[in-house]
A and B are shown apart, each in its own frame.
Chain A
Amino acid sequence: MGLMLSFALGPFVWELITALKPEGQLAQLPPLFPARPTAEHFIAVLGAPGFLRVALNSLVVASFTVLLAFVLGVPAAYALAKLNLRGRQVILGTLLCLSMFPAIANVAPLYLLFIRLGVRDSVLAVIVAHSVFALPFALWTLTNFFQEIPDDLYRAGRIDGCSHLGILRHVVLPLAAPGLVSVGLLVFIFSWNEFLYAFTLTATERSRTLPAAIALFAGLHEIPWGEIAAASVLATLPSVLLMLLFQRRIISGLTAGAVKG
């Protein structure tokens, strides 16, 4: 048990210790732990104008990716789950196939398209690119959640003359709220952590996200290990905190997409 937890947490804890070491001690082993921990690397990272901008970009991208996945995904998942549509199987099958494509297989066309539209290196481009995987995932998982809502409730709503949007708002959404939270959290974490699209579609701090910035982290003369460690720990905090706080919901989202699918 101890072995398992130290393997799971070790690299994270070691990075945190590194971030707290004074500059002079980074190249020294032993000691493993700094005699006097310092916040200098965190202050340096948070004080750099670029870092906060990039963190803000990450937040905007992840939030709007979630929003877009909901706005487009919720009504469509409702239609797929509750209205016996003819093309249902084809659509679900296509979604599954799309999730098998490596991101590298559609990043080049998006790159060329965004250049032509003049939106490369914009937050918008990254949001659209993240929706490429977020929307199929949300559709697939939400459809699974919505299918669990009893058909009787849906039928009762129809008989009472509710419109589809009415049923969606008054019956489906309240009952599937936990599922929506799961999907929202997962899409947020996926988008927050995503690298390939964010890296190829951005060029400056105007739109760069945290993973892209951390991959590019380089000093003028030597590698700033302490600052890389501090930035890495900070970039990890949101998704790890969400994982720890909403573990139940996240797991149910992942298994709803997988085990029943």
Chain B
Amino acid sequence: MSAAFRERLSRYGLLGPAVLFVGGVALMPVLYTLWLGFRRQLPIFGISRFAGLENYRFLLADARFWNALAHTAYFVLLSVSLELTLGLAIALLLNQSFPGRGLARALVFVPWAVPSVVAARFWEWIYNSDYGVLNYVLGTRVNWLGDPRWALHAAILADVWKTTPFVVLLLLAGLQVIPEDLYRAARIDGAGSWQLFRHITLPLLLPVILLALLFRTMDAARVFDLIFVLTGGGPANQTETLVVYAYKLLYRTLQFGYGSAVAVATFLFVLTLSLAYLRLLGRAWQTHGE
């Protein structure tokens, strides 16, 4: 065995198992879902045939799909903008030095580590219309999760609670690499704290802000656990998001073909949003990055 051959063999040995595994359990299923999207597959009726674009044509006319898309878009827009605003404020606060900062940081990150199913259980209990602490504190008697006007907003608040820490964490990491000298120099030139924020912090933090935006948007567009446990998509499908709808098609009614088409549409939605952000991100790096 030549040395060169042995070298090649060992390289394949290092990389091969992981590539095969990812290909087998991550890539292949995705390709199979694409394929299922072109099929009519209803095991309960024994139907399994190629259907071309039938599912996608049906999808375009499916009011429930558009409904789910609108809820998802609303959820993404509101939760991500709240998370970013709140996250930025908290990150700026935690970037100051004060006694007990380490502890405050540790505690702020706790919600991130809570499983989302459990987070949903926490909030379900807070929102409970009869015994919930929210109604008690506000002195109201609102059925937060049962009222179509409130239910999606209730889910958004729970999501903000659970994921703002992640935004804080990224932004804090970004804030810590801004050189202190810049602030000192600007202060000598007589800049006020708003000017410091506006002309130093914000532009230098912009790439990290966009990155946080990208991650959060990708995740929020795929929201499932929280809504599934909180409302199950109700009342009257008023909180049903794309993934919740796809889940119901796949596992409640076993429509593997059409369910897969909705899953693919969800992916396309996430992809479109991500590409838009990546473009912005690329531009931000060019202008402000090193």
Contact = CB atoms under 8 A, between A and B. Distances in A.
Given A8-B165, A100-B267, A243-B113, A85 B15 contact: yes
Contacts of A147: none
A135 to B, nearest CB: 6
Interface in B90-123: 90, 93, 104-123
B10 A98 contact: no
Interface in B38-84: none
B215 A247 contact: no
B174 interface: yes
Contacts of B267: 100-102, 105
Given A11-B122, A72-B18, A79-B15, A255 B170 contact: yes
B178 interface: no
Interface string A9-51: 1011011001000000011111010000000000000000000
Contacts of B10: 163-165
A136 interface: yes
B251 interface: yes
A204 interface: no
Interface residues of B, number: 79
Contacts of B229: 215
Nearest to B247: A104
A14 B115 CA distance: 16
A72 to B, nearest CB: 4
A225 B93 contact: no
A76 to B, nearest CB: 4
B115 A132 contact: no
A80 interface: yes
Given A131-B25, A135-B18, A108 B114 contact: no
Contacts of A110: 25, 29
Interface stretch (A148-156, A174-182, A233-241): A233-241
A15 B124 CA distance: 10
Given A104-B224, A108-B36, A200-B251, A98 B122 contact: no
A245 to B, nearest CB: 9
B116 A79 contact: no
Contacts of B117: 193, 195, 211-212, 214-215
A213 to B, nearest CB: 9
Contacts of A235: 115, 118
Contacts of B26: 98, 106, 132-133, 135-136
A26 B132 CA distance: 10
A12 B108 CA distance: 12
Instruction: Describe A's contact surface by its main secondary structure.
Output: helix
A135 B21 contact: yes
A242 interface: yes
A112 interface: yes
B125 A14 contact: yes
Contacts of B28: 109
Interface in A83-122: 83, 85, 91, 94-95, 98, 100-113
B279 interface: no
A156 to B, nearest CB: 17
Nearest to B222: A102
Interface in A206-228: 210-212, 214-215, 217, 225, 228
Contacts of B218: 100
A247 B106 contact: yes
B33 A76 contact: no
Contacts of B142: none
B246 interface: yes
A164 B14 contact: yes
A103 B122 CA distance: 24
Given A9-B107, A9-B110, A214-B118, A102 B30 contact: no
Contacts of A112: 256
A259 B267 CA distance: 23
21 contacts: A1-B104, A9-B110, A11-B123, A12-B122, A14-B126, A15-B122, A26-B131, A78-B14, A79-B15, A95-B22, A100-B274, A102-B243, A104-B243, A104-B263, A106-B33, A132-B25, A139-B18, A164-B14, A193-B115, A228-B125, A242-B113
Listed from nearest, the 5 A-B pairs whose CB atoms lie closest are: A76-B18, A106-B29, A193-B115, A109-B29, A243-B113
